[in-house]
Amino acid sequence: MTRLRFKLKDESIVDKDVLEHIDGVLGTANVSGIYQVIIGTNVDQMYDEIQNNYLKGKTAKEDTTKKDGIVSRILELVSSTLSPLIPAIMGAGFISIMLALFTQLGILASDSQTYVILNGIANCVYYFFPVLIALSLASRLKVNQIFAVVSACFLLYPDFINMFQGGETAVSFLGIPVMFATYSKQIIPIFFSVFCQKYIEKVVYRFTPKVIRTMVGSGIILILTVLVTIVVLGPFGDLLTQGLNAVVYFVVDTCGWVAIPIMSFLNPIFL
């Protein structure tokens, strides 16, 4: 995370020139109705300062007079879900850079046990990224975080993955085909999964008696969430991911240096 994001009721009160001359502020941007103050790597400390000195004990009131567009809400949700994960991503990146430097200098061999352990620490952040996404998104959507994490873990569960034999073996559940997909390092499939869980929870809790809700209701939620994910939402999300990757590679391969401003334009949306 490199930016503080503010959802302002009145954007006219912002004095951009004064704001950008504050020590520690690197710049500002207004993306889809969200006013962003670019801080850099010290954004966590700045956020804590604002929370403790200006927002402590206060709760935001919902503005019902103005409704954001669907695109703005989606981008805000994606951004707020990914932001807490940025420190882990940056930490993993630092470890990868350090390992590359050490191997180039001959300080550490790539086949040494030390290298394998350190490399594993970095790689697990990306491999288990769906689990981290599930935890963060479930918190934002106010659904059961443990259920979301369990569903994400199932997508990476070795026995489930091995059933497909690398996509060569057909897998089905009660005759319903389950498509093969690689879910590690992915974002979109688990977004769909947690959204699905939100509505499944509402329906199950509504019709499940309280006396059996903890055991039976929880089991039904897990089963339905995982099944809908692996049968429909997961493969669809995987196809969307492949499509987005194809677009990015096409832009980079086709446009060359022109791709830089395009990616720079998209950067404020996600970082």
pTM: 0.71
What pLDDT, in 10s, does the model give residues 197-225?
999 999 999 988 888 888 999 999 999 99
The predicted model gives 247-265 an average pLDDT of: 67
Q: Is the pLDDT of residue 233 over 60?
A: yes
- In DSSP notation, 76-117 reads HHHHHHHGGGHHHHHHHHHHHHHHHHHHHTTSS-TTSHHHHH
The predicted model gives 133-143 an average pLDDT of: 92
Cβ contacts of residue 18 below 8 Å, gap of 6+? Answer: none
Identify which of 6-10, 120-124, 240-244 has the greatest average pLDDT.
120-124
| pLDDT band with cut points at 50, 70 and 90 for residue 271 | very low
Rounded mean pLDDT of the chain?
82
The predicted model gives 152-166 an average pLDDT of: 91
Q: Is the pLDDT of residue 165 over 70?
A: yes
Q: Is the pLDDT of residue 266 over 60?
A: no
| pLDDT band with cut points at 50, 70 and 90 for residue 268 | very low
CA angle 93, 99, 101 (to 5 degrees): 105
What pLDDT, in 10s, does the model give residues 45-104?
777 777 777 766 554 454 544 556 677 777 778 878 888 888 888 899 999 999 999 999
